[in-house]
Amino acid sequence: MLHFHRCQHLKQITQKCFSFIHAKTDKHAQLYLSRTFALAELRKSCHSIHSLVGDKNIILMGLPGAGKTTVGRIIGLKLGCCVIDVDDDILEKTWNMSVSEKLQDVGNEQFLEEEGKAVLNFSTSGSVISLTGSNPMHDTSMWHLKKNGIIVYLDVPLIDIVNRLKLMKIDRIVGQNSGTTMIDLLKFRKQYYKKWYDTRVFCEIGATPEEVADKVLNEVKRYQDVDSETFISTRHIWPKDCEQKVSTKFFSEAVIEGLASDGGLFVPEKEFPKLSFGEWKRLVGATYIERAQILLEKCIHPTDIPAARLGEMIESAYGENFVCSKIAPVRHLSGNQFILELFYGPTGSFKDLSLQLMPHLFAHCIPPSCNYMILVATSGDTGSAVLNGFSNLNKNDKQRIAVATFFPENGISDFQKAQIIGSQEENGWAMGVKSDFDFCQTAIKRIFKDSDFTGFLTVEYGTILSSANSINWGRLLPQVVYHASAYLDLVSQGFISFGSPVDVCIPTGNFGNILAAVYAKMMGIPIRKFICASNENHVLTDFIKTGHYDLRERKLAQTFSPAIDILKSSNLERHLHLLANKDGQLVTKLFNQLEEQHHFQIEKNLVEKLQQDFVADWCSEGECIAAIHSTYNNSGYILDPHTAIAKVVADRMQDKTCPVIVTSTAHYSKFAPAIMKALKIQEINQTLSSRLYLLSSYNALPPLHEALLERTKQQEKMEYQVCAADENVLKSHVEKLIQNQFM
């Protein structure tokens, strides 16, 4: 109910703002700025109705045995406020009998109804309320409580719950005599809790009630402090006057806008949240979806996306869209080398891990009356992943969000091109550009910075531009999850104990994937070295070794690994901002110099700081093909060309003292010609699908991606447009697409 109120508030504000469209005002930026105004007003209204001890209640929810009553009493003492236990203070006083007697008297279903009615007749304010374990199973009463309370979910480990219940009188748990085991009954209950909570306390195994109470107060404080988790541009220059207000954005604004107005990228103003040792230990046995929910809840403020809604998005993104139930499994290759397999999504690349979720985040964050055109530059895999992800939105969202992907016409594999073209839907289109990826990416950045053009689109068509490349924070953040999950899987499988270090080796072009691993380390994953693996376009390797980023006289080479055929690495800007202690003035200077002089050099102290965590090397085309061949001969495993590059570099750079996780970014079937060359398979004018069938006959690992095979059959005859490498031509195409989609 509380979140519904927020949405209505936002809707009213945005409706007022959109009155500017029909007036065709000359102030192009007004509508764009109205979104910031709307969110500011929204947060102001949220802040005014929350206080730790005021008219709002703190409502503790959790499984039977979670310690709600005990923790509630401790919180009540700390805050000096009333504590109400629903069992003792409401139900038993209403019924004049014990809860267990009532349950035995009326049975499970009738009990839930009468319990709900009793809660509906109760109201209070400024109190701590400890719910029963079954309260969340009655919707009407929960809405009643939620109207005037912050619902805190005490997520206690099942092992602690079971151990406590053994010591308690448990003849008052709804459903316990139905023949279901206690473990299954408790797991069943969790589905009800997930839909109600505003914030979660993720309890460590064996946590004391006092520790849990402190966590509750911290979470409630975070929930209320709607301005505590903000974002700044990497080019933000801190004011010399401490009293001057810093220009910040909220998560929802960073996701909507994509690129900062000064040309920089959004980064958190504060440090990443860090999990405790005990919290990480709890996640060792969790599923990928459970890990994603915990980690992303800590990184996204519930005012931007309510925790329960975020959970729904995560389940929608990863529930049925991946052909492997583990989503991102880790496979032991040989010795102390492991492969993180990130290609089980619908388009067969690591981009699916973020782009199945990011469209849901984006659709939630945008004002309900706005139209958005997403512009995407792709070096191969991003295009099809973006088109697929946004095609999975509901009908209403697809009517107000469209996608245009631009790819180098002759710079990606035949399979990737067919996949991008075949992924076009009613709200998504593919455009070939007669140039390379760097041109596509630079042109799109310039389009975003062209205030005359973006303002014209806003006023004339009521449409705002945004991005879904890894320059968008909503695209980058979900990638942190799989790096953390990979480490937890190694612990779960017994290869390492928690706390033991690992290295990660990642084929790197735009720096987003390896940067997400850096963020995973900041959250508490003990990664020792980040090994940057380049192909023959090794500008990043050279930079890590020398501190000199030099594009002068460097031409882009087309390789067997097109996804990293990149010379201008966008996300490097975020990492340099981090290394330079958020010195936006320095970052602005460096990237302006790169734009104007095509190179920059960082100071010696920053080079040393970079090299503390990073090592790098590159791999030739011949070495890439040889690695695919030798790995298949030795282990029956087929590497895609990007993974082969990472393996070559890992073999060369790894010092063998700790395990290394090699990130496999795509399924090998997307690069059949390179694989057939490496395995010495003769190719005779075969179609894309026939190549895949031929490769599948080898019965290699990983198995053939059936979803890719089915989709390939449908993609080979679809049409698309090709345009010249001219920024104005791209603008013209964007305008035409907007006219066709939204007018």
Three-point CA angle 62, 65, 67, nearest 5° = 70
- Active-site hit among 56, 68, 351, 417: 351
CA 464 vs CA 400, 445, 454, 455, 662: distances in Å: 10, 14, 7, 8, 39
Nearest CA among 438, 465, 530 for reference residue 731: 465
Locate the DSSP E strands across 588-687. 599-601, 614-618, 660-664
Instruction: Give the up-direction half-sphere exposure of residue 68: CA atoms within 13 A in the CB hemisphere.
Output: 26
Distance between CA atoms of 179 and 181, rounded to whole angstroms? 7
CB contact set of 158 (below 8 Å; sequence gap of 6+): 183, 186, 187
Q: Which long-range contacts (CB under 8 A, 24 or more apart) does 597-606 make?
A: 598/550, 598/551, 598/552, 599/548, 599/549, 599/550, 599/551, 599/552, 600/548, 600/549, 601/547, 601/548, 601/549, 602/547, 602/549, 602/576, 603/547, 604/547, 606/547, 606/576, 606/579, 606/580
Distance between CA atoms of 554 and 537, rounded to whole angstroms? 9
Q: Pull the structure tokens for residue 413.
A: 């594999």
Distance between CA atoms of 385 and 378, rounded to whole angstroms? 10
Contact present, 672 and 695 (Cβ < 8 Å): yes
User: Residue 148: how many CB atoms within 10 A of its CB?
Assistant: 18
CB contact set of 630 (below 8 Å; sequence gap of 6+): none
Distance between CA atoms of 646 and 665, rounded to whole angstroms? 10
Distance between CA atoms of 413 and 407, rounded to whole angstroms? 11
Q: Pull the structure tokens for residue 570.
A: 């966008």
Query: Length of the chain in residues, anyone?
Result: 743
The yes-or-no answer on residue 351 being catalytic is yes
Nearest CA among 588, 663, 679 for reference residue 626: 679
Distance between CA atoms of 731 and 735, rounded to whole angstroms? 6
CA 296 vs CA 76, 92, 283, 531, 742: distances in Å: 30, 39, 13, 25, 33
Helices 414-422 and 706-715, axial angle in degrees (round to 10)? 80
Contact present, 266 and 254 (Cβ < 8 Å): yes
Measured in degrees and rounded to the nearest 5, phi and psi for residue 463 equal -125, 135
Contact present, 735 and 375 (Cβ < 8 Å): no
Three-point CA angle 578, 581, 583, nearest 5° = 95
Torsion sign over Cα 185, 191, 194, 196: negative
Q: Which residues are catalytic?
A: 351
